Amino acid sequence: MGTLLLLFVCLLLGALVARYAKPPAGTVHGINWWVINIALPALVLELVPKLRIDAQLWFPVAAMWVVFFGGWLLFATLGRWLGWSRERIGALTLVCGLGNTSFMGYPMMQALHGKEGLALAVVADQLGCFPLLASAGVAVASLYAGKVPQPMVIARRILTFPSFLALILSVIVGALGGWPAMLDSVFTPIGATLTPLALFSVGMQFKFHLGERQLSALTLGLGWKLLLAPLACWLLGTAAGVGGLTLTVGVLQAGMAPMISAAILADEYKLEPSLANTILGAGIVLSLVTVPLGNLLLGG
């Protein structure tokens, strides 16, 4: 409960600072830079070498693919039926197909399931959600904005991402027996900065401005992201014989709030940015209830 309280406090502090304290321009960018380029790689370097490899680790990764491509199919179909614009279909596919599996997912999985759950959350994020954002996410954004995807740019984005490089190194180190204790003592406190800073940053970026004729898209988008997508992943995992903490973390990561970077991508490609940011804000708040509730239903 103390760790869950930390999540609420950091989110609230971020929102209050953004609204009342007038922080210097670039504060959010600076915090995000530290989280993405320093804290996240340190966390990966700490946790992944200790991860016990088993045959069920495919599931947290596959769950992220189910969420993205299932959402794309759903919104493309609904879009034709409801007469949505290409921009709206693209925006919903991005923000409701990609989850906040790092900034929100890591702190929540650590709060609910400790270091073991956090390690599985890293697998879902680094092998599932992040490559999807950098590849299929960019491709979808380009297609619905009328642009041509650039495969070399996408490949370079994935292969040079700091935490992805840390993941490759961690797998090698884990196979060789792990880090010396002295290095572990360095990675741990640096990685520990991710939770408070990431949630503080999310709070500072929180927005909710519902425009005209956006309510149905908001409801359908979050209905998929927070309810139907994790249900579909639970059905997949159960049918495949996945169980225990691997099933729980995979399903909870599938039902995580929309990804901040996906909303930024929608804004960059002019895919109805107001709707994307509204879904992001509403999804963050609602996921603080739906994820712990889902954890209880899964027996966590």
Q: What is the block-wise mean pLDDT of the chain (300 residues), using blocks of 10 residues?
A: 73 87 87 85 85 86 97 96 94 94 85 89 88 86 83 77 84 87 87 82 73 83 97 97 95 93 83 86 88 91
Give the model's pLDDT for residue 2. Answer: 63
- How buried is 241 (Cβ within 10 angstroms: 0-12 exposed, 13-18 middle, 19+ buried)? exposed
- pTM value surpassing 0.85: no
Question: Which H helix or E strand runs over 33?
Answer: helix 27-34
Give the model's pLDDT for residue 246. Answer: 95
Give the model's pLDDT for residue 278. Answer: 86
Give the model's pLDDT for residue 5. Answer: 76
3-state DSSP helix/strand/coil percent for the chain, to nearest 5?
Answer: 80, 0, 20
Which SS3 state, helix, strand or coil, does residue 99 take? strand
* E runs forming strands in the chain: none
Please name the residues in contact with 108: beta carbons below 8 A apart, sequence gap of 6 or more: 7, 252, 256, 291, 292
